[in-house]
């Protein structure tokens, strides 16, 4: 090995270790890779920064914007209406329709965006049919990953592989629908597996909005507590005590000498009132948390408030709604606690419970950092809950109603998107230009504002891809990719091209489970091309094997953002994905490795 190859391999190993241990953000690691390539002299600054100007990167962030525009127009409700008409009453019909819909959408838009659009619809359909979401969401997520294999823009690995292939003039690139034959085989195989085998392995967890009296969302949310003589709160104001910040509780009223200080409507400002011994505080929040606060603050817990008190403070039941929300894929609140974001004051809703990694949490809600995939159970006025539909930080897990004013923009967005896809598929425009024009049109027609467009982009993915692309270039320039290709050829070459293709598939699939699919693609595609050229065969079959393996991550919830997105709403546990996904991974490996030599002959 030359000095340059040793440096490239060292940077590669360090980056892989950092990806696996997951202590540093992946986008920060990729930026570090880019800087290291310059500091070691492996690439010039122009070469290292070329990833940001890559057509692949531009296409990826353009797809994020276009997907957000389609979502903004209420496409999810249109799909729900269509699916209800097609699916019929049988759960198998609904499962089939949902998977086909997810796969078709993911073929033409970002798969995370596709699932984000479908998620509220699926939750609503499950409630209407009395089905547990855990029986539907993994199939939808897996279908979106498989459907992305049908077109050039369906998944970032397809876009990246096509961009990397431009560095090899002797290798023809992929056109828009070159992915379709294998994509249809993958989608068909996955659908049959889920209908015949996978659905029996899916857990049957509690529905999203259960009706059992022990569920945290059906417990009493108003509680009363009296200030004792020993209570340290005597003489302090509610502003000074900060129950919301410390416990995630809201003090809705104070009863003093048989009178409520908030007034008849319950909306008077209580923050500056000094508390006295004997005052009764009316809390809103989980009973368990109220009990904890009473213990720490030496308050005397009382019986449940009267029905008239509940009606005065909370309103009639028909005006109060319980709802579930989850963090959106581009939420800036990931890693922050309810206390830090001042949730109650900012959104006007109470968080009753948080479902994290398969179980409900009701205590210390204000302190725990929010994680992508967490499900928050909120309670408040119906009109306040409805405002979450336009809140970019969260996804309200209810279908969006379509109003007449949305129809014109819905068809406008569909026309813009259809024109971009047609131009790219017919070769009239390069895919990056077609998608960029569509993104600009979404803003120009006021479907999205420019701020909405910026917010729609998953900048973490953009920086990850832009930072890792130069590593693939360095591997090629220093001969490291060729060295790895020869190693694979030495081990499997005597067995024939099919075994090499199978080996590339397995290596890439393994990498994708521990690092991002974009990083796995950047590392493996140059090796796949070099192997094909060294063997004197068409390398496109090898490249196709790597991108398919990178795009079908089914074994772990952390393997892909789509899996993380459904983790909380489906009430899944870590092992659920492997139980359903292992057989699908194995079946796709067999089917794809036998189909590719037929579609892309060696």
How far is Cα 142 from Cα 577, in angstroms, rounded to an integer? Answer: 10
Residues 265-274: tens digit of each pLDDT: 444 567 788 8
Set out the domains of the chain in order of their start, with CATH numbers.
71-207+418-466+476-599 (no CATH), 216-314 (3.30.70.1450), 321-396 (3.30.70.1450)
Half-sphere exposure (Cβ direction) of 323: Cα atoms closer than 13 Å:
25
Among the ranges 357-366, 386-395, 396-405, 592-601, which has the highest mean pLDDT value? 592-601
| Segment 94-111, tens digit of pLDDT | 889 889 988 988 888 878
Q: What is the dihedral of CA 589, 594, 600, 602, to 10 degrees?
A: 110
Q: Each residue of 18-69: pLDDT tens digit?
A: 877 777 888 888 899 889 989 988 888 888 888 888 888 888 888 889 888 8
Tokens of 271: 């923050």
How many angstroms separate the CA atoms of 597 and 157, rounded?
20
Rounded CA-CA distance 53/432 in Å is 11
Q: Is 553 a residue whose pLDDT tops 50?
A: yes
Tens-place pLDDT, residues 520-529:
888 889 889 9
Q: How far apart are CA 566 and CA 40, in angstroms?
A: 42
Please name which of 105, 125, 127, 126 lies closest in space to residue 115, comparing C-alpha atoms.
Answer: 105
Q: How far apart are CA 559 and CA 35, in angstroms?
A: 26
- pLDDT (tens digit per residue) in 292-324: 888 888 888 876 666 666 555 555 555 667 788
- pTM for this one? 0.73
pLDDT(330) > 80: no
Measured between alpha carbons, how far is 272 from 357 in angstroms, rounded to an integer? 40
Judge contact between 97 and 87, C-beta under 8 A.
yes
Assign 371 a pLDDT band (cuts: 50, 70, 90). Answer: confident
What's the pLDDT score for residue 317? 52
Closest CA to 524 of 480, 490, 559, 463: 480
Q: What band does 212 get if pLDDT is binned at 50, 70 and 90?
A: very low
Report the chain's mean pLDDT, rounded to a whole number. Answer: 81
Q: Lay out the sheet containing 320-327: strands in order across.
A: 359-361, 350-356, 375-381, 320-327, 394-396
Cβ partners under 8 Å of residue 336, min gap 6:
369, 370
200 torsion bin: left (phi>0), alpha (psi -120 to 50), beta (else): alpha
Q: Would you place residue 81 in the very low, low, confident or very high pLDDT band (cuts 50, 70, 90)? A: low
Cα-Cα end-to-end distance for the chain = 30
């Amino acid at each position: 090995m030359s000095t340059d190859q040793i440096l490239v391999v060292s940077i590669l190993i360090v980056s892989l270790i950092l990806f696996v241990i997951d202590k540093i953000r992946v986008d920060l690691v990729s930026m570090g890779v880019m800087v290291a390539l310059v500091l070691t002299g492996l690439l010039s600054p122009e070469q290292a920064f070329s990833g940001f100007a890559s057509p692949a990167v531009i296409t990826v962030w353009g797809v994020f914007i276009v997907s957000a525009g389609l979502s903004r127009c209420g496409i999810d409700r249109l799909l729900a209406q269509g699916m209800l008409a097609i699916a019929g009453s049988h759960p198998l019909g609904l499962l089939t329709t949902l998977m086909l819909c997810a796969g078709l959408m993911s073929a033409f838009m970002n798969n995370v965006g596709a699932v984000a659009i479908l998620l509220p619809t699926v939750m609503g359909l499950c409630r209407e049919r009395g089905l547990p979401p855990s029986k539907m969401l993994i199939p939808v997520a897996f279908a979106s990953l498989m459907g992305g294999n049908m077109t050039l823009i369906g998944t970032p690995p397809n876009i990246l592989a096509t961009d990397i292939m431009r560095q090899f003039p002797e290798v023809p690139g992929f056109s828009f629908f070159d992915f379709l034959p294998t994509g249809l085989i993958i989608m068909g195989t996955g659908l049959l597996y889920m209908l015949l085998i996978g659905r029996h392995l899916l857990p049957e967890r509690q529905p999203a909005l259960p009706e059992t009296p022990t569920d945290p969302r059906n417990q009493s949310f108003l509680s009363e507590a009296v200030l004792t003589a020993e209570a340290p709160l005597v003489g302090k104001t509610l502003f000074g005590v900060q129950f919301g910040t410390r416990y995630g509780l809201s003090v809705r009223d104070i009863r003093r000498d048989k009178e409520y200080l908030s007034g008849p409507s319950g909306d008077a400002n209580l923050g500056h009132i000094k508390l006295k011994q004997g005052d009764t505080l009316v809390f809103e929040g989980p009973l368990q948390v109220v009990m904890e606060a009473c213990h720490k603050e030496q308050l005397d817990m009382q019986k449940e408030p009267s029905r008239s008190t509940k009606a005065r403070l909370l309103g009639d039941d028909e005006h109060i709604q319980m709802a579930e929300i989850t963090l959106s894929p581009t939420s800036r609140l990931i890693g922050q606690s309810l206390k830090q974001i001042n949730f109650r004051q900012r959104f006007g809703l109470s968080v009753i419970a948080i479902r994290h990694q398969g179980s409900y949490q009701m205590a210390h809600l204000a302190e725990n950092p929010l994680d992508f995939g967490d499900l928050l159970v909120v309670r408040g006025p119906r009109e306040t809950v409805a405002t979450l539909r336009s809140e970019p930080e969260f996804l309200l897990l209810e279908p969006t109603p379509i109003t007449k004013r949305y129809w014109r923009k819905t068809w406008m967005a569909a026309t813009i998107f259809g024109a971009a896809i047609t131009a790219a598929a017919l070769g009239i425009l390069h895919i990056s230009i077609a998608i960029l024009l569509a993104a600009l049109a979404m803003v120009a027609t006021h479907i999205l504002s420019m701020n909405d467009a910026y917010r729609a982009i998953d900048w973490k993915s953009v920086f990850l891809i832009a930072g890792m692309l130069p590593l693939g270039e360095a591997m090629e320039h220093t001969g490291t990719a060729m060295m790895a290709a020869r190693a694979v050829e030495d081990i499997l070459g005597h067995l024939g091209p099919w075994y090499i293709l199978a080996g590339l598939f397995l290596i890439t699939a393994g990498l994708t489970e521990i690092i991002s699919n974009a990083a796995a693609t950047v590392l493996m595609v140059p090796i796949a091309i070099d192997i094909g050229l060294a063997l004197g065969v068409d390398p496109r079959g090898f490249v196709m094997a790597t991108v398919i393996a990178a795009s079908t991550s089914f074994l772990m919830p952390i393997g892909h953002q789509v899996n993380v997105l459904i983790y909380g709403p489906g009430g899944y546990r870590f092992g659920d994905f492997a139980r359903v996904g292992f057989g699908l991974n194995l079946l796709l490996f067999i089917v794809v490795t036998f189909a590719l030599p037929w579609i892309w002959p060696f």
